[in-house]
């Protein structure tokens, strides 16, 4: 009997330690997740495939690259619309600067934002199935900025499942 109690006690201790660890992990997630949507920067995204580049004129004056996870790439290649749940798109952006080594060339300067769209139609029914996140130095920007995301994507590219970027040939 005693050994059962000891075992039970040990099990309780172990599970509360686990609970504490997972709570701590949630704490950091909350800090790194976007307001409204709870989107975080996906691990390993820098190794994902390129969908297309973009250039933004003044005042932002940026070079951009949109990358997609394997689900996104598959959907682009097969022309699947709407994008399936599990699709993740990441847009990197840099200041657009003149090369110091070759005048006509524009090259990426300082990194500005990382932006993420995650497709999860059950979790995000009010924003076309997409969750949005904009990050500066790895940290999400404020709620006011996140209130603008879907409105612009909805107004311009509703017919392409709210996604601007097309596959660069």
Query: Is 87 near ligand HEC (CB under 6 A)?
Result: no
Least CB distance to ligand HEC at residue 66 (A): 5
Q: Which of 41, 75, 92, 163 binds ligand HEC (CB under 6 A)?
A: 163
Nearby residues of 70 by Cβ (< 8 Å), 6 or more positions away: 48, 49
Query: Is 64 near ligand HEC (CB under 6 A)?
Result: yes
Contact window for ligand HEC (CB under 6 A) among 5-13, 18-26, 72-80, 146-154? 146-154
Q: Which of 36, 63, 75, 89 binds ligand HEC (CB under 6 A)?
A: 89
C-alpha neighbours within 13 Å on the C-beta side of residue 69: 17
Contact window for ligand HEC (CB under 6 A) among 69-77, 97-105, 119-127, 157-165? 157-165
The DSSP annotation for 102-133 comes to STT-EEEEEEEEEEEEEE-TTT-GGGTTEEEE
Task: For residues 113 and 7, give the distance between their C-alpha atoms in angstroms, rounded to a whole number.
Answer: 51
Chain-centroid distance, C-alpha 90: 5
Strand partners of residue 93: 64
Q: Which of 26, 31, 56, 143 binds ligand HEC (CB under 6 A)?
A: 56
Least CB distance to ligand HEC at residue 70 (A): 16
- Asked whether the beta carbons of 68 and 115 are under 8 A apart, the reply is no
Q: Which residues bind ligand HEC (CB under 6 A)?
A: 54, 56, 64, 66, 89, 91, 115-117, 132-134, 145-146, 148-149, 152-153, 163-165
């Amino acid at each position: 009997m005693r050994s059962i109690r000891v075992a039970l006690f040990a099990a309780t201790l172990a599970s509360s330690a686990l609970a504490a660890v997972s709570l701590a992990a949630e704490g950091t997630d909350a800090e790194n997740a976007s307001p409204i949507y709870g989107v975080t920067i996906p691990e390993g995204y820098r190794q994902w495939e390129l969908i297309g580049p973009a250039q933004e004129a003044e005042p932002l004056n940026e070079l951009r690259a949109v990358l997609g996870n394997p689900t996104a790439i598959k959907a682009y290649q097969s022309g699947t619309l709407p994008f399936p749940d599990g699709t993740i798109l990441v847009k990197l952006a840099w200041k657009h600067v003149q090369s110091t080594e070759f005048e006509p060339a524009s090259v990426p300067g300082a990194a500005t934002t990382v932006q993420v769209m995650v497709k999860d139609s059950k979790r995000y029914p009010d924003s076309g199935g997409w969750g949005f996140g904009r990050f500066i130095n790895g940290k999400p920007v404020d709620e006011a900025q996140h209130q603008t995301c879907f409105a612009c994507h909805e107004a311009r590219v509703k017919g392409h499942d709210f996604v601007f970027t097309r596959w660069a040939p």
